[in-house]
Amino acid sequence: MFNKRVKVKDLLASNDTEREVTVMGWVRTFRNNQFIALNDGSTNNNLQVVVELGLLDETTLKRITTGASLKVTGTVVVSLGKGQRVEVKASSLEILGDCDAEKFPLQPKKHSLEFLREIAHLRFRTNTFGSVFRLRHSLAFATHKFFNDKGFVYLHTPIITASDAEGAGEMFRVTTLPFDAPPKNEDGTINFKEDFFGKSTNLTVSGQLEGELGAMAFSEIYTFGPTFRAENSNTTRHLAEFWMIEPEMAFYDIEDNMNLAEEFIRYLIQYAIDHNRDDIEFLDQRLAEEERQKPQAERSEFGLIEKLEFIIQNKFERITYTDAINILLESPAYKKKKFKYEVKWGIDLQSEHERYLVEKHFKKPVIVTGYPKDIKSFYMRLNDDGKTVAAMDILAPGIGEIVGGSQREERLESLEKRMREMHIPSDEMSYYLDTRRFGTVPHAGFGLGFERMVQFVTGMTNIRDVIPFARTPKNCEF
């Protein structure tokens, strides 16, 4: 029977000694033919298993190598050694799986993140990735708890969509047509009527449009699922497959939307601090070490825990896009020509501009609202000035954009006008326009990139290190 085992985390937290337990896990280290550091992934803290001399024969002792998996039964005793309160004195030990120490790529030493990315199937067994993925789990769980407690309905929006209203050009096509000889129309174009769905289809870039349809009945919904973007950007913040949380709320204006997003981000951070203190402390140390490798000028002023606590305690700055442009134009960086991209009203803020606002000027998260309508999507609500829309982006230190959202255009005529101007085919979108025809209401929503949130909480600089198996341009291993 395997399920009688005790998890290492529970065992280490308990003061209940002199009882018999069975533990299972993988060997991290084995010292002096006597002390095994055993880990089962429930915590970074290893359980010390003591093998008394004479318990095992030579051959078995030799098989206790880093990476091998064990089943150990023994007595919980107060530890005499440093570093742990309790340990297990083994009375029997079984090797479940051998691990050839010569071939096992994980040695009990520090490996680079780049190297670990190449063995992503094994990196879960390191302290860094143990902490990162336990935190990722907690943040996912906290997401459901946050919205569930508020009465939002979790709506599963489709992965395969026919809509190309958003993200045209950055979508992955879904097809069963043969590549070598696809059926053609008379004009030589591909005949998608013969494709699986009878039309051209893609992987979704966002669940928002379908989310809006749900909000028009349940009032408040959220989605939390994978999204796909074939954008060819090899950055530390972009993945081709990433997870997005998209709440969509009826009877919300842009301000309600900002308040919800801010409350949600704070909730996630607080949840992680309350439930994964050990993991955050470990990552705080890891980051401090990484920072020490950098030249003084590039080091960040805050440690990870300091940063997270600061976010919980301080309200986000709220500014308009116009304010943002003015701040940039008056900045020393602009005057010294430090920006690579042009700054003037109407531009899309580049990452260097966002970083300046957040990291240099305000030194805290910033919510920017009122973007020019021409750089934003067709569904964003037009402001009374006729030039800007009720959009909001939340920019975070070290990450850049973490949330993108808006109040949606609920007025049918305005929406149709924007769609014409932006060449969005309204016949294909008539289902979407129906919500504006049949009992339209003011509503709003946003998308939070889950991996960027995990980056923020874990302090990991590369987005590839916060998703189990990253999909990026020219890379789809595992």
The residue (of 136 and 237) whose beta carbon lies closer to ligand ATP is: 237
Which residues of this protein are in contact with ligand ATP, per CB under 6 A? 229, 231, 237-239, 242, 244, 400-404, 447-449, 451-452
Among residues 162, 247, 238, the alpha carbon closest in space to that of 197 is found at 162
Of the pair 93, 343, the CB lying nearest ligand ATP is at 343
CB 420 → ligand ATP: shortest distance, Å? Answer: 22
For ligand ATP, give the closer residue by CB, 50 or 390: 390
CB of 322 to ligand ATP, least distance (A): 19
CB of 371 to ligand ATP, least distance (A): 11
Strands (E), 251-365: 317-320
Long-range contacts of 123-130, Cβ-Cβ distance < 8 Å, separation of 24 or more: 124/41, 124/468, 125/26, 125/39, 125/41, 125/67, 127/44, 127/282, 128/282, 128/283, 128/286, 129/465, 130/39, 130/41, 130/43, 130/44, 130/279
Minimum Å gap between C-beta 230 and ligand ATP is: 10
Give the relative orientation of helices 304-313 and 277-292 as an angle to the nearest 10 degrees: 120
Give yes or no for a contact between 250 and 219, defined as CB atoms under 8 angstroms apart: yes
The nearest distance, CB 244 to ligand ATP, in angstroms, is 5
CA distances in angstroms from 321 to 257, 258, 335, 383, listed in the order given: 17, 15, 20, 13
Looking at the Cβ atoms of 247 and 447, the one nearer to ligand ATP is 447
Q: Which is nearer to ligand ATP, 174 or 448 (CB)?
A: 448
Structure-token match 């975070």, residue found: 396
Query: Could you tell me which residues come within 8 angstroms of residue 225 by beta carbon, excluding any fewer than 6 positions away?
Result: 156, 157, 159, 207, 243, 244
Q: Which is closer to ligand ATP, CB of 40 or CB of 409?
A: 409
Paired tokens of 426: 């309204």
- Closer to ligand ATP by Cβ: residue 100 or 342: 342
Nearest Cα residue to 240 out of 476, 33, 42, 460:
476
Between CA 418 and CA 355 the distance in angstroms is: 31
Q: How far is CA 385 from CA 370, 372, 373, 393, in A?
A: 10, 10, 11, 19
Residue 445 and residue 220 in contact, taking contact as beta carbons nearer than 8 Å: no
Work out how close the CB of 227 gets to ligand ATP at its nearest, in angstroms, rounded to a whole number.
7
For the CA atoms of 344, 346, 349, 353, the dihedral, rounded to the nearest 10 degrees, stands at 10
Q: What is d(CA 132, CA 136) in angstroms, rounded to the nearest whole number?
A: 6
Residue 37 beta carbon to ligand ATP: minimum distance, rounded to whole angstroms: 36
Q: How far is the CB of 448 from ligand ATP (least distance, A)?
A: 6
Decide whether 256 or 401 has the Cβ nearer to ligand ATP: 401
Please answer whether residues 454 and 399 qualify as being in contact, where contact means their C-beta atoms are separated by less than 8 angstroms. Answer: no
Q: How far is the CB of 400 from ligand ATP (least distance, A)?
A: 6
| Cβ atoms 85, 97 nearer than 8 A | no
* Terminal C-alpha separation, the chain: 32
Judged by beta carbon, residue 215 or residue 402, the one nearer ligand ATP is: 402
Contacts 24+ apart (CB under 8 A), 409-412: 409/378, 409/379, 409/380, 409/381, 409/382, 410/381, 410/436, 410/440, 410/441, 410/442, 410/443, 411/436, 411/440, 412/436, 412/437, 412/440
> Smallest gap, in angstroms, from Cβ of residue 349 to ligand ATP?
9
Residue from 345, 399, 403 nearest 375 by CA: 345
Nearest to 133 by CA among 401, 449, 398, 460: 460
Q: How far is the CB of 26 from ligand ATP (least distance, A)?
A: 31
Residue with smaller CB distance to ligand ATP, 192 or 264: 264
Which residue number, 26 or 146, has a Cβ lying nearer to ligand ATP?
146
Closer residue to ligand ATP (CB): 64 or 357: 357
Give min distance, CB of 418 to ligand ATP, in A.
17
